[in-house]
Every structure is written in structure tokens, then in C-alpha cells.
Amino acid sequence: MSGEPTQGWIDPAVAEELPKLRLWQQRVEARDGPSPDELKERLRLLSDRFHGAKAIAMRREPVPHAYRVLFRHIGIDPDDDRTPVEAAALERLRHGGFRSAGVLADALLLAVIETGVPVWALDDERVHGDLGVRPAGPTESLGSADLAHELVPGRLVVADDAGPIAQLFGAIAPSHAPTSETTAMRLFSVQAPGVPGIHVEEALWTCTEALDTP
């Protein structure tokens, strides 16, 4: 069973600089595990449609381009650290197809390839309150316990009420990543300025639908 997508919060200073930046979150009851044949077939068909010429031209399309612009605005060079959809496209070209890596990974991959909008997943039980975007403070770490590591102050992060749990467009805290024992996930997606909300809704729907595949 899945909840409805809701908006997270944006730090006022970040909202002033990027007034159209949005973070969306959605709770979904789901487990990770091997992908069913139906989901693997969807990836195979998508691989057949996603040829080299499409991957090369993709960065000029409106949604992927909007994420490239956002990357540059927040200090990330998209030619060095590729946007999520471009990174997925590059992996398809390297391997000759999209490789199945389990139901969660496959669901996230389908969402970003079909819509251009990235989606990430957290263990919902480890999330405290709503998610939002803010700069990391001095001496803050990503996640908790022995798996945490220090963050560069000022780096934009996705945080809950307890602290940072993911770098914006970067690593998720290992302490908050879904595991084999996870029964409910908190999906989240970052809406870049210029990306219509319907694309984000479609990305989250695509992911939840794939996770519900029997």
C-alpha cells in the first residue's frame, strides 16, 4: 500500500536562491528482492528502445537539461558527475542493455529512464519526520552510528528532523538505506526548476507500480 506524494521542506536560504526547487516524498510498503520476470522484461524492452543516438541526444531534452542546469547552479559539473538519467544511459551503453539488480534498483531505474526524473529510496522506519533540503552545518555527518562520515559544511543535503541522510544528488547514508529487512520505504524525488510537476508524479508512480509488481 502506498501513500500520496507530499512536498518536503526547503531551507529558506536555499528557496531564495532556487525558488522553484522542490522535494517530493512518498511512503510505500514494499520489500526489496529479486526482480520478477515481468519487471526484467520491461527493462529488456526499454533497453531495445534506448539506443546510442537517443542517449547522446538526451541531454538536450527539456527535463534532462533542467537537471544539468541545476547541477551547475549548485556547484556540480554534470560532465564530470553525471545527472542520474545520464549516468543510467551511460551504463546502458557500457553493458549493451539495462541490467537487472533487484526489484528496488530496477524500479528506480525505470523511473529515471522513462521520465528523466530521479527517485531515491530510504528505509521509512529510520526517517524522522518530513524530508527537506538544506545546507550541511559545521561538524555534521551523513547518517548515524559507525557508518556515518563527515560532510563538507554548506554542501546541500536531504535531511530529516534528526539530521542529514543523503547528499543532494549524491550518496545516501548507509544507516538509512533499505535493507533485506525493510518493509516500508520512503521514496523521494528532487524537482529541478523548469521540470513540470507531472513528470515528478509520473516518476514516483512508475517506481511504486514497479515495486508492487507481483
Residue 59: other Cβ atoms inside 10 A: 17
Return left, alpha or beta for 163; rule: phi > 0 is left, psi -120 to 50 is alpha, else beta: left
Going by C-alpha positions, the residue among 96, 95, 133, 91 that lies closest to residue 108 is 91
113-142: average pLDDT: 95
Compute the average pLDDT of residues 91-115: 89
Q: Where are the beta strands (DSSP E) in the chain?
A: 6-7, 9-10, 22-29, 120-123, 132-135, 141-142, 149-150, 156-160, 163-167, 184-191
Q: Give me the pLDDT at residue 48, please.
A: 79
180 and 202 Cβ atoms separated by less than 8 Å? no
Structural domains of the chain, with CATH: 6-211 (3.50.40)
Q: pLDDT value at position 159? A: 97
Would you say 117 and 188 are in contact if contact means Cβ atoms under 8 Å apart?
Answer: no
Average pLDDT over residues 41-50: 84
- What's the pLDDT at 143? 78
pLDDT band of residue 54 (cuts 50, 70, 90) is low
Residue 127 has pLDDT above 80, yes or no: yes
Rounded to whole angstroms, how far apart are CA atoms 132 and 25?
A: 9
Residue 19 pLDDT exceeds 90: yes
Give the pLDDT of residue 133.
98
**Rounded CA separation 157/162 (Å):** 13
Residue 96 pLDDT class (50, 70, 90 cuts): confident
CB count within 10 Å of CB 135 equals: 18
Q: Rounded mean pLDDT of 95-123?
A: 93
